[in-house]
Amino acid sequence: MTLSTASSSLRKRRKSTEHVDHHVGGGRRIGSHALLIILAIYFIVPLWWLLVSSTKSTSSLFSSAPLWFDHPADFIENVQGLFTHQGGIYWRWLGNSFFYALTGGIGATVLAILAGYGFAKYRFSGRGWVFGLILGSVMVPLTALVVPTFLLLSNVGLINTPWAVILPSLLSPFGVYLMRVYTQDAVPDEMLEAARIDGAGEFRTFVQVALPMMKPAVVTVLLLSVVATWNNFFLPLAMLNDPNLLPVTVGLNNWTKLSSTGAGGEQVWNLVTSGAFISVLPLLLSFLFLQRYWQGGLAIGSVK
Amino acid sequence: MNTKFFAALGVAALGAVTLTACSGNDSAEACTNKIVNKDATQVSVWAWYPAFEPVVDLFNQTHDDVQVCWTDAGVGDDEYSKFSTAIEAGSGAPDVIMLEAEVLPSFSIRDALVDLTAYGASDVAGDYPDGAWSDVKSGDAVYAIPVDGGPMGMLYRKDIFDKYGIAVPTTWAEFADAAQALKDAGAPGVLTDFPTNRRAYNQALFAQAGSAPFVYDSADPQTISIEVNDQGSKDVLAYWADLVDRGLVATDDASTADYNTKMVDGTYAVYVAAAWGPGYLSELSGADATAEWRAAPVPQWDADNPVQINWGGSAFAVTSQASDKDAAAIVAKEIFGTEEAWKIGIEEAALFPLWKPILESDYFANLEYPFFDGQQINKDVFLAAAAGYEGFTFSPFQNYAYDQLTEELSAVTRGEKSSDQALDDLQDTLVQYANDQGFTVN
Amino acid sequence: MATMTSPTHAKTSAEHEPSTVARRRHRTGWLFVIPFLAVFLLFLIIPLAYALWTSLFTSTLASGTEFTGLDNYAKAFTDPIFLEGMGRVGLFALVMIPLQIGVALLAALVLDTLATRLSQASRLLIFAPYAIPVVIGALMWSFLYSPSFGPASTLFDAFGLQAPEFLSTNLIFGSLVNIVTWQWSGYYMIVIYAGLRAINPSIYEAARVDGASGRQIALRIKVPMISSSMVMVLIFAIIGTLQFFTEPVVLRNVAPGVIDAAYTPNMYAYALAFQYSQFNYASTIAFSLGVLVFIGSYLFLYLTRKQSGLNR
């Protein structure tokens, strides 16, 4: 059939270019590789620093050479510290991050899928300006919204609950844009027509015919939303007081502040560095293992 | 692609939900500590003291009718931002909140704090030194119960002083000489740091020369007097600007990783510190076994008329959103009102008590600090500093005032302005701001 | 941009449907859009309207709140702090965006011509910073920038040079540019790379037959063909840069004398609201910023309307 999915044909195309490009000249290859190595080093040095620092105790953090290990066994002490400090709240924070990122991410994706499909495949009056409004909303500075959102949520008693973080995270205007653009091109109207003629309702048509074809964009939007919610800082900082509800970004920031403050502070730099290191592992590892989906998915943005 | 991917996703989701299963119990009062008497009135408290949970437990075990529900809602400004937003929203604030004295006027002017005179504040007034008590008062109103203070002294590296033959300075003139002597002796570091971002610290230095920049009484909340460019402040700033110019002190920002490193490696031989400074220092300094720190009184401008100063310290205030103000007042008055609570506060949180029964006890005076090789720093330095401190009045826009102060001081250390000019500019800025905010400025 | 299947049959099927039925069917589109719109209304439109409303009032510490209409906006647009901040983020945009995109483009072009293990590993490493929350990234860099503590001094000493003071007034601009470039170039690189991968390779063949060199192919063929995705990337970069907030806020913890509370307009709005309790003026600043961002974006889109293909 002519109706191959966009992603598989993309993959086919990529493989074919890879095959062709092995004829690149030798000298240029070395130059290109050298450049890549330099770039890779630039991007990796801070992460390397994080790894090394997470194996140090607080005092050796400030006295030993920054880019090399001092007493690697300290890492075990640091991890123990993460389990005992403030009752092991660090792991709670990590769990919270997972929870918020997945619920927020999945929720945002569902809303974006529905809205994107609606904008793409239906020509209702007002579609243009509503979509424009949604796109324009990325220009609104977050600082304008925090206090009113706080007031709103406080009036319904949702401040200091997970909902205060999850609900606002459901908004992904960029996700709606991506889904619309992709669906417009990847889901042919004839197939929808065919389903309708067969007697299927709009929603069934959507689920059974359109949705399978939208998968690459779905994956992209899902990954982008999960990353965005995982890295979210300002929203939970403003909305949550209970330390048990904090995601790991805000939690680590609290510990940093605690270590920087004079009176009533505690020096927990070693926990900050090891906590930061462990907290970036889930996303880094998922990047590593889900590479295929990244490549395929982000093509959506460019294939207009 | 589908099954494996979504299976992984499902497992992760399941794992996350299990991990946070407990957080599903998100009652409005989610306490970090345990409630002992479930039928008693619960009072919510925000505080960031280290080792605070044992203190809370102690209170809960000894009070049948009131129980404390504590959360750490952030340190310093983070907590204040949340509090500020909660006040604006009309809900979300705790019953009792830990506040530093410098922000009390900022919150009392927004009617966020309860005047405790109606709730038995006078009963405990005698338990606190005059200076500390005046810090929590505004006119006749009492807005908080003091907890810990920051009377100032001078911590110095005995080993560095001995090595370069520096005598311990008792006056600021001697201090400048010591700084010069250290440089002349070829020491790699400097005598001390002059951080422009240590706001209350700089303010305290000015206060020592007689500066009382703000006159404000919450009974007459729309009137304020501002004088930040008094001669005392100008003299002090000129003194430090001179030391900076001569390269005798550093101008690093405080409380950064870099600053901590320099504390540890002896780049600064002196740390003009508050009484909580030793706690801060001892946690950092594990690495350098050869460092010998000692405490001495803070240098004076006039050896015959010593002026004691204070930097930091905190208190418990009852907020206007407290549902049971009597219970909240009881918590504020009594939570750090026992010897047992203070033993914890002193030994585990390195706080400096303002509660007289402990402050004036032999236990506290004779306390030997291993970090200072057993020196009894309270007896030697901080008790006199606390007793001699006379209090300070802050403005109701102190955060803004401090930010402007930091900017002006940075301009001085960068050589962009003279010290006199900086303080004059600061005066203009603050007067302008006060006028904009509707105050009548005298 | 080339697409898989062009839905040319759409019109024909619509022709078979009577228009009233068609219109009713199209209205069901609303049902799909409404869940998103509900959240959008609740968490964007309503707070925004409230913020706008707040900006029309003035509340002073000493006296109460009163309606002052557009006075706050007049104050904002003559406020030297706001204007200085705006100028600063404008400068950031002019410097940071070409740099990020430049690095991203260069990396993407290089990766597009290689297919080795090394290139695949590099691709991942360059993209990795995107996984780091900005707060943690800025924390890492604040340690790395530390004069006595970061690796810079050992590195520069090896060459007999004085390490630069990254956190000084002179260099803080560059230091911030560096953090953002480090964080975001990988993300932009991936987007551009994906666009490059979607180009039909037969075009390269044709060009090579005509005698074009690798560089000419890169500049004359590849770059123009991904111009639409570049424009999209650029517009988000512009919006993000003009709203510069998190990195300077985090870096302020280690350089408070150098980065003041109102370093960028977004920081100014935050300080006004959360530290000085001036909620009305804070809303005004935030809105003024939003207006300027809108104007800037619109201008940019207008200037690149040919390249972006957004005329549909």
Predicted confidence (pLDDT) per residue in A215-236, tens digit: 888 888 888 899 889 988 888 8
pLDDT of residue A1: 30
Cβ neighbours, 10 Å, residue B113: 26
User: How many whole angstroms separate alpha carbon C179 and alpha carbon C166?
Assistant: 11
Q: Name the residue in chain B with its Cα closest to that of C277.
A: B84
Chain C residue with Cα closest to A108: C36
What does the DSSP assignment read for chain A? -----HHHHHHHHHHHHHHHGGG--HHHHHHHHHHHHHHHHHHHHHHHHHHHHTTS-HHHHHHS-TTS-S-TTHHHHHHHHHHHGGGTHHHHHHHHHHHHHHHHHHHHHHHHHHHHHHHHH---TTHHHHHHHHHHGGGS-HHHHHHHHHHHHHHTT-TTSHHHHHHHHT--HHHHHHHHHHHHHHS-HHHHHHHHHTT--HHHHIIIIIHHHTHHHHHHHHHHHHHHHHT--HHHHHH---GGG--HHHHHHHHHHHHH-STT----HHHHHHHHHHHHHHHHHHHHHTHHHHHHHHHHHH--
Instruction: Look up residue B344 and give its amino acid.
Output: I
pTM: 0.83
Q: Which of B344, B360, B388 is the C-terminal boundary of a domain?
A: B388
Q: Which of B253-267, C43-57, C220-234 has the highest mean pLDDT?
A: C43-57
| C-alpha B32, offset from chain centre | 24
Task: State the pLDDT confidence band at C15, using cuts at 50, 70 and 90.
Answer: low
- Cβ contact (<8 Å) for C146 and B256? yes
**C101 three-state secondary structure:** helix
The answer, for B253 touching chain C at a CB cutoff of 8 Å, is yes
- Cβ pair B23:A96 closer than 8 A: yes
pLDDT of res. A297: 57
pLDDT digits (tens, 9 = 90+) for B69-108: 998 888 888 889 889 988 988 888 999 999 999 999 999 9
CA nearest to A271, candidates A252, A244, A243: A252
C191 and A301 within 8 Å at the Cβ level: the answer is yes
User: Helices A26-53 and A269-289 sit at what angle, rounded to 10 degrees?
Assistant: 140
B21 and B135, same structural domain?
Answer: yes
H/E stretch holding C105:
helix C80-113
Looking at the structure, tell me whether residues B369 and B408 fall in a common domain.
no
C199 pLDDT above the threshold of 50: yes
Closest approach of chain A CAs to the CA of C8, in angstroms? Answer: 9
From C152's Cα to the closest Cα of chain B, the distance in A is: 13
Contact in structure between A295 and C194 (CB atoms under 8 Å):
yes
The CA angle A115-A121-A127, to the nearest 5 degrees, is 65
> Which tokens belong to C11?
């019109």
Q: Region C51-79: what's the mean pLDDT?
A: 87
Provide the token pair at B417. 């302005």
| Residues B326 and B412 occupy one common structural domain | no
User: Over the stretch A238-272, which tens digit does the pLDDT of each residue have?
Assistant: 888 888 899 999 888 888 877 766 544 567 888 88
Predicted local distance difference test score (pLDDT) of residue A19: 38
Q: What does the angle CA A92 – CA A96 – CA A100 come to, to the nearest 5 degrees? A: 180
A61 within 8 A of A124, measured Cβ to Cβ: no
From first CA to last CA, the distance across chain B in angstroms is: 74
Tell me: do B136 and B158 sit in the same domain. no
**Three-class DSSP labels, chain B:** CHHHHHHHHHHHHHHHHHHCHHHHCCCCCCCCCCCCCCCCEEEEEECCCCCHHHHHHHHHHHCCCEEEEEECCCCCHHHHHHHHHHHHHCCCCCCEEEEEHHHHHHHHCCCCECCHHHHCHHHHHCCCCHHHHHHCEECCEECCEEEEEEEEEEEEEHHHHHHHCCCCCCEHHHHHHHHHHHHHCCCCCECEECCCCCHHHHHHHHHHCCCCCEECCCCCCCEEEECCCCHHHHHHHHHHHHHHHCCCEECCCCCCHHHHHHHHHCCECEEEEECCHHHHHHHHHHHCCCCCEEEEECCECCCCCCCCCEEEEEEEEEECCCCCHHHHHHHHHHCCCCHHHHHHHHHHHCCCECCHHHHCCHHHHCCCEHHHCCECHHHHHHHHHHHHCCCCCCCCCHHHHHHHHHHHHHHHHCCCCCHHHHHHHHHHHHHHHHHHCCCEEC
Cα separation, B140 vs B136, whole angstroms: 10
Residues B91 and B140 in one domain: yes
* Residue given tokens 């403005």 in the structure block: B395
Q: How far apart are CA C79 and CA C76, in angstroms?
A: 5
Between A169 and A57, the higher pLDDT residue: A169
User: CA B231, CA B174: separation in Å to the nearest integer?
Assistant: 21
| Residues A39, C103: C-beta atoms closer than 8 Å | yes
Q: In the structure, what pLDDT confidence band is assigned to residue C309 with cuts at 50, 70 and 90?
A: low
Q: What is the pLDDT of residues C170-196, one digit of tens each?
A: 888 999 999 999 988 888 888 888 788
Looking at residue B98, which CATH number applies to its domain? 3.40.190.10
CA distance C311 to chain B (A): 36
Asked if the model's pLDDT at residue B390 lies above 50, the reply is yes
Mean pLDDT, to the nearest integer, of A132-161?
83
Which chain A residue is nearest to residue C27, measuring alpha carbons?
Answer: A124
Domain boundary among B360, B388, B416: B388
Confidence category of residue A27, pLDDT binned at 50, 70, 90 = low
User: pLDDT by residue (tens digit) across C229-239?
Assistant: 788 788 888 88
Cα B333 to the center of its chain, rounded Å: 19
Provide the pLDDT confidence category of residue C9 given band limits of 50, 70 and 90. very low
CB nearest B438 (choices: C62, C148, C257): C62
Span B404-413, pLDDT tens digits:
999 999 999 9
Residues of A in contact with C185 (CB under 8 A): 43
The alpha-carbon gap from B442 to the nearest alpha carbon of chain A, in Å, equals: 34
> Which is the CATH superfamily of the domain at A6-24+75-297?
MetI-like (1.10.3720.10)
Owner of token pair 């920054």: A66
Give B26's pLDDT tier (boundaries 50, 70, 90): very low
**Residue with token string 């962009």:** B416
Helix (H, G, I), strand (E, B) or coil at C294: helix
Asked if B283 lies within 8 A of A245 by C-beta distance, the reply is no
Contacts of B258 in chain C (CB under 8 A): 146-149, 167, 254
Q: Are B214 and B81 in the same domain?
A: no
Contact yes or no for A140 and C48 at CB 8 A: yes
| pLDDT digit string, tens, across residues B122-140 | 999 999 999 999 999 998 9
Q: What is the mean pLDDT of residues A33-50?
A: 86
Q: Please give the residue that has the higher pLDDT: either A13 or A248.
A: A248
- Chain B positions touching C275 (Cβ under 8 A) are 77, 80-81, 84, 399-400, 403
What is the rounded distance in angstroms from the CA atom of residue B147 to the CA atom of residue B344? 13
Predicted confidence at residue A262, as pLDDT, reads 54
| Alpha carbon distance C127, C15 (integer Å) | 48
Whether residue B240 sits in one domain with residue B132: no
Cα gap A60→A69, rounded to integer Å: 10
Interchain pair C256, B406: CB under 8 A: yes
Triad C80, C82, C85: Cα angle to 5°: 105
- Residue numbers of the domain that contains B259: 151-309+395-441
Residue in A with minimal Cα distance to C182: A43
Contacts of C143 in chain A (CB under 8 A): 49, 53, 66
Q: Are C221 and C204 in contact (CB under 8 A)?
A: yes
Does B267 lie at the interface with C, CB-CB under 8 angstroms? Answer: yes
For residue A157, which of B172, B26, B298, B302 has the smallest C-alpha distance? B26
Structural domain count, chain B: 2
A68 compared with B360, residue with greater pLDDT:
B360
Question: CA-nearest residue of chain A to B18?
Answer: A95
pLDDT at position B20: 45
Q: Are residues B10 and B144 in the same domain?
A: yes
CA–CA dist B247, B241 (Å, integer): 10
pLDDT at B226 over 90: yes
Across chain A, what does the average pLDDT equal? 80
Q: Is the pLDDT of residue A28 over 70?
A: no
Q: Could you tell me if B163 and B15 lie in one domain?
A: no
Q: Which residue has the higher pLDDT, C161 or C56?
A: C56
Which residue of chain B is at minimal alpha-carbon distance from A223? Answer: B9
From chain A, the residues in CB contact with B13 under 8 A are: 102, 106
pLDDT grade, residue C148 (50/70/90)?
Answer: low
Same domain, B134 and B165: no
Q: How far apart are CA C223 and CA C109, in angstroms?
A: 9
B255/B295 same-domain check: yes
Query: Pick from A156, A151, C274: which is nearest to B89 by CA?
Result: A151
Say which range, B77-86, B141-150, C197-206, has the weakest mean pLDDT.
C197-206
- Closest in C60, C253, C260 to B403, CB measured: C260
Q: Report how far Cα C213 is from the mean position of its chain's Cα atoms.
A: 33
Domain boundary among B388, B412, B429: B388
In this prediction, residues B372-389 reach a mean pLDDT of 92
Q: Which domains does chain C have, with CATH numbers?
A: 83-308 (1.10.3720.10)
Cβ–Cβ contacts within 10 Å for residue B215, how many? 13
Looking at the structure, tell me whether residues B374 and B401 fall in a common domain: no
